[in-house]
Amino acid sequence: MLLDLQGVEKTYPGADAPVLRGVSLRLAAGDMLALTGESGSGKSTLLHLAGGLDTADAGRVALAGTDLTGLSDAARAGLRRTTVGVIFQQFNLIPSLDVAANIAFQARLAGRHDPDKTAALAARLGLSAHLRKYPEQLSGGQQQRVAIARTLAAAPQLVLADEPTGNLDESTADGVFDLLCDLVAETGAGLVLVTHSTRLAAKLPRRAHLHAGVLT
Ligand X SMILES: Nc1ncnc2c1ncn2[C@@H]1O[C@H](COP(=O)(O)OP(=O)(O)O)[C@@H](O)[C@H]1O
Q: Does 17 bind ligand X (CB under 6 A)?
A: no
Can you count the helices (H) and strands (E) in the chain?
7, 10
Asked if residues 140 and 167 have their Cβ atoms less than 8 Å apart, the reply is yes
Please choose, out of 42-50, 60-68, 119-127, 148-156, the segment that lies near ligand X by the rule CB under 6 A: 42-50
Cα angle value 42/73/164 (rounded, 5°): 40
Draw the binding track, 98-137, toward ligand X (x: CB under 6 A; -: no contact): ----------------------------------------
The amino acid at 58: A
Please choose, out of 11-19, 57-65, 68-76, 91-99, the segment that lies near ligand X by the rule CB under 6 A: 11-19
Draw the binding track, 146-165, toward Mg ion (x: CB under 5 A; -: no contact): --------------------
Long-range contacts of 132-136 (CB under 8 A, 24+ apart): 132/98, 132/99, 132/100, 133/98, 133/99, 134/95, 134/96, 134/97, 134/98, 134/99, 135/91, 135/93, 135/94, 135/95, 135/99, 135/102, 136/95
Q: Does 44 bind Mg ion (CB under 5 A)?
A: yes
Asked if residues 7 and 24 have their Cβ atoms less than 8 Å apart, the reply is yes
Shortest reach from residue 9's CB to ligand X, in Å: 13
Q: Which is nearer to ligand X, 45 or 83 (CB)?
A: 45
- Listed in sequence order, the residues at least 6 apart from 171 whose beta carbon sits closer than 8 Å to its beta carbon are none
Shortest reach from residue 48's CB to ligand X, in Å: 8
Q: Does 42 bind ligand X (CB under 6 A)?
A: yes
Shortest reach from residue 100's CB to ligand X, in Å: 32
Shortest reach from residue 39's CB to Mg ion, in Å: 7
Q: Does 96 bind ligand X (CB under 6 A)?
A: no
Cα angle value 140/141/144 (rounded, 5°): 85
> What's the N-to-C CA distance of the chain in angstroms?
21
Q: Does 40 bind ligand X (CB under 6 A)?
A: yes
Please give the Cα distance from 174 to 33 (Å, whole number): 17
Shortest reach from residue 157's CB to ligand X, in Å: 23
Q: Does 36 bind ligand X (CB under 6 A)?
A: no
Q: Which is nearer to Mg ion, 43 or 76 (CB)?
A: 43
Shortest reach from residue 46's CB to ligand X, in Å: 7
Task: Note the residues at the interface with ligand X (CB under 6 A).
Answer: 12, 15, 19, 37, 39-45
Task: Note the residues at the interface with Mg ion (CB under 5 A).
Answer: 43-44
